[in-house]
Amino acid sequence: MTYQTNSGEKLWDAKHESLSVEIERLKKENDNMHIELRHLKGEDLNSLYPKELIPIEEALQIGLTSVREKQMEIWKMHKKNEKFLEENKQLTYMLLTYQLDPKWRNECLSFANSKWRQYKTHLTKTFIQPNRNNLKLLNKVPQGHCISPGDWSSFVINRMSEDFIYCIVFF
């Protein structure tokens, strides 16, 4: 280009000149994009004026919102997947339960029922009857027993009812 200017000879025609101008424009655009990318990465921000920081901040805020929405979507899918896995476990359990030999199944259920009755009797004799006049103690779930407060409250109410006491006395 400088040879052409100094010598006065035209080496390039207009088509080549426009291509040269286009190449220079693309180089500048590429440099500007690199600068903008560095700014978005958080580099070279000290050289910017507050007006120039606002669009970058807005772009980052939009990106952050998008990432959070995607994160929430993934979390919801994960929870839904956990729910399906739990449901699958329950259905598998039910399937196995119904495939048992009926005699063996009935014996197992009878044994479990017997143990459950023994456990309820133990709770009644150990915690409810000795404390039937102390409502403060009856409101507390006994330590070492995995019973929710609501279930314990219902159990105590049932065991303190007149119908239950009547059954104990007369049967």
Quick: pLDDT tens for 97-122.
777 677 887 888 899 899 998 998 89
pLDDT attached to residue 10: 64
Tokens describing residue 96: 């196995």
pLDDT attached to residue 89: 84
pLDDT attached to residue 28: 95
pLDDT attached to residue 170: 55
Please state the pTM of the whole predicted model.
Answer: 0.40
pLDDT attached to residue 42: 79
DSSP 11: -
pLDDT attached to residue 94: 77
pLDDT attached to residue 8: 63
Instruction: Please give the Cα distance from 78 to 70 (Å, whole number).
Output: 12
Q: Is the dihedral of CA 45, 48, 54, 59 positive or negative?
A: negative
Residues of the chain where predicted confidence (pLDDT) is lower than 70: 1-5, 7-15, 100, 166-171
First to last CA, the chain: 116
